[in-house]
């Protein structure tokens, strides 16, 4: 089955194709205005060019691609892995993209690959719409699209199910069924990088409130193109600060992903793009019955290797610049940073080398990934804290711009470091501020710590998921052994 309702009729082969593909009539709203062209608007243009560079890398490096069963060269993260070697190739392709941003881009095209592949391989779960899922997967894969995902309902009132809210249209639901499809209306709370996506995978997650038969209209999973009539993308405030030069805030300038609120204003969805319809159990259980969410977390784990390596390198650079690299306290902090970086590498290796069967092929070891998911808020907070302690308060006393030093060179020597001149130290501490203290950094920490769920709920889920590990039997076995040893000795 081939997808018929498509917005793109040829693969996106390079950065130029990608930029052109975004000029498709989508409705992106920013500061009260409809953005005519995200590739030219200052709040969005830098990130579009970074993603374009990713597409150029795909066209330049054959190791990032593989040949599909439909005869297309596709981006490796969209492969359905058949074994450990495939998982390794997928991970290496993702790492290549992460190096472009030092792991600061949380949800680039590579991150979405395993998510869409997990959807495509889970066809049996989505019966009777198995063929719809497969066709959508192949379309995204073969045309090298950059998909997004939106599954969190608006917070509004978490104590109520959707049908219990005063306005039934606040949460996305089906409001009309037609011979050729359905009409959906309502909102999804957050979708990272939505202004830059081509397709939106719409799933259902409402926290602790499971759907009942009274909520069947809300039991919808499907896919919508970003230029679908009625889909309005409300971007949050851009965190690209007004700067004298991009080097005053290099990461904020390049890598802000513009998380967005999505409003579906009576959006038509053809049947071939519907994956779950009026089935509350399936709409709720995809989290546990597919690896879609697991792959989201695993993508973060892979990326954290690169991000933590950069944080460690930054901390070393700062300690050297300040002449504190020989201080015992600094060395302890740096050693802990190295340990966290190596732990990420070890977890990736453990997940990759212990694959388990999936609907089609294999997936990474779930317990390893879920353990990372449970501990990630604590880990990330600690890593940021360590780098901040190593850098000290120097970032708070920077000149406003590197241009200040060009205009007043007599100041340069007064802001120098132990091993570098004043310009180099100012540039270094601009990076410190950008990735540790700025609006961009705050958003990054919020995302890294909380975007895969409430910390307490995640830990509880991990505990209940481990009930089959036989804790009672393990205790009894150990104590039987101990008692026997006491009798023998």
Q: Is residue 140 part of a domain?
A: yes
Do 303 and 243 lie in one domain? The reply is: no
Question: Residue 193 has which token pair?
Answer: 């990088």
Q: Is residue 468 part of a domain?
A: no
Within 177-291, residue ranges assigned H as helices are: 250-255, 280-289
Question: Residue 10 has which token pair?
Answer: 């040829």
Q: Is residue 21 part of a domain?
A: yes
Do 284 and 366 lie in one domain? The reply is: no
Do 257 and 330 lie in one domain? The reply is: no
CATH number at residue 79: 2.40.110.10
Q: Is residue 466 part of a domain?
A: no
466-486 CB burial, b ≥16 within 10 A, e <16: eeeeeeeeeeeeeeeeeeeee
Do 273 and 159 lie in one domain? The reply is: yes
* Sign of the alpha-carbon dihedral angle for 97, 99, 101, 106: positive
Do 191 and 237 lie in one domain? The reply is: yes
Q: Is residue 324 part of a domain?
A: yes
Do 146 and 244 lie in one domain? The reply is: yes
Per-residue pLDDT, 466: 78
Do 40 and 133 lie in one domain? The reply is: yes
Do 266 and 413 lie in one domain? The reply is: no
CATH number at residue 400: 1.20.140.10
pLDDT tens digit string along 150-194?
A: 999 998 888 889 989 999 899 999 999 999 999 999 999 889 999
Query: What is d(CA 276, CA 126) in angstroms, rounded to the nearest whole number?
Result: 7
Do 282 and 296 lie in one domain? The reply is: no
33, burial (CB in 10 Å: exposed 0-12, middle 13-18, buried 19+): exposed
Q: Is residue 462 part of a domain?
A: no
For residue 319, CA distances in Å to 140, 384, 431 come to 46, 15, 14
Domain count, the chain: 2
Radius of gyration of the chain (CA): 24
Q: In DSSP terms, which residues pair with 235 in a beta bridge?
A: 260
- Which residues define the annotated binding site for FAD? 155-158, 192
Do 46 and 191 lie in one domain? The reply is: yes
Do 274 and 323 lie in one domain? The reply is: no
Per-residue pLDDT, 133: 97
pTM for this one?
Answer: 0.94
Residue range(s) defining the domain that contains residue 368: 292-453
Do 310 and 188 lie in one domain? The reply is: no
- Which residues define the annotated binding site? 155-158, 192
Per-residue pLDDT, 207: 67
Query: What is d(CA 454, CA 207) in angstroms, rounded to the nearest whole number?
Result: 9
**Positions of the chain with pLDDT under 70:** 206-208, 468
Q: Is residue 378 part of a domain?
A: yes
Per-residue pLDDT, 201: 98
For residue 444, CA distances in Å to 51, 104, 180, 433, 448 come to 18, 8, 41, 13, 6
Q: Is residue 307 part of a domain?
A: yes
Last residue of a domain, one of 232, 261, 289: 289
Last residue of a domain, one of 289, 322, 338: 289
Last residue of a domain, one of 289, 307, 334: 289
């Amino acid at each position: 089955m081939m997808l018929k309702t498509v917005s793109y009729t040829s693969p996106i082969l390079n950065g130029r194709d990608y930029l052109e593909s975004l000029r498709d009539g989508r409705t992106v709203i920013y500061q009260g205005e409809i953005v005519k062209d995200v590739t030219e608007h200052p709040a969005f243009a830098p990130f579009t060019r970074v993603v374009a560079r990713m597409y150029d890398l795909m066209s330049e490096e054959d190791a990032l691609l593989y040949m599909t069963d439909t005869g297309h060269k596709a981006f490796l993260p969209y492969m359905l892995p058949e074994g450990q070697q495939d998982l390794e190739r997928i991970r290496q392709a993702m790492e290549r993209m992460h190096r472009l941003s030092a792991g600061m881009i949380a949800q680039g095209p590579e991150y979405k690959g395993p998510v869409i592949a997990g959807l495509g391989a889970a066809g049996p779960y989505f019966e009777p719409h198995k063929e719809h899922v497969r066709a959508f997967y192949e379309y995204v894969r073969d045309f090298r699209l950059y998909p997004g995902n939106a599954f969190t309902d608006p917070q509004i009132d978490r104590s109520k199910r959707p049908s219990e809210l005063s306005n039934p249209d606040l949460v996305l639901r089906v409001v009309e069924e037609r011979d050729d499809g359905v009409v959906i209306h309502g909102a999804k709370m957050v979708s990272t990088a939505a202004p830059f996506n081509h397709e939106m995978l719409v799933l259902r997650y409402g926290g602790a409130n499971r759907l009942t038969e009274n909520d069947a209209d809300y039991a919808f999973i499907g896919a919508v193109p970003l230029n679908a009539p009625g889909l309005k993308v409300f971007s949050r405030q851009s965190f690209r600060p007004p700067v004298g030069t991009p080097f005053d805030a290099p990461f904020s300038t390049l890598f802000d992903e513009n998380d967005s609120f999505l409003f579906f204003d009576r959006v038509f969805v053809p049947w071939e793009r519907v994956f779950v319809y009026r089935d509350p159990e399936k709409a709720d259980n995809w989290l546990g019955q597919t690896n879609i969410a697991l792959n989201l977390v695993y993508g973060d784990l892979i990326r954290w290797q690169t991000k933590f390596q950069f944080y460690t390198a930054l901390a070393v650079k700062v300690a050297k610049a300040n002449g504190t690299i020989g201080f015992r306290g600094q060395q302890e902090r740096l050693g802990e940073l190295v340990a966290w970086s190596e732990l990420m590498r070890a977890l990736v290796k453990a997940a990759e080398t212990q694959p388990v069967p999936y609907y089609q092929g294999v997936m990474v070891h779930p317990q390893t990934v879920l353990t990372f998911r449970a501990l990630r808020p604590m880990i990330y907070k600690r890593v940021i804290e360590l780098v901040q302690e190593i850098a000290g308060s120097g970032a708070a006393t920077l000149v406003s711009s590197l241009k200040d030093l060009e205009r007043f060179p007599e100041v340069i020597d007064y802001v120098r470091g132990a091993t570098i001149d004043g310009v180099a130290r100012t540039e270094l501490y601009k990076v410190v501020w950008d990735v540790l203290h700025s609006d961009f950094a705050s958003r990054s920490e919020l995302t890294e710590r909380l975007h895969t769920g409430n910390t307490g709920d995640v830990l509880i889920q991990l505990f209940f998921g481990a009930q089959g590990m036989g804790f009672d039997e393990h205790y009894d076995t150990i104590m039987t052994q101990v008692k026997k040893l006491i009798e023998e000795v």
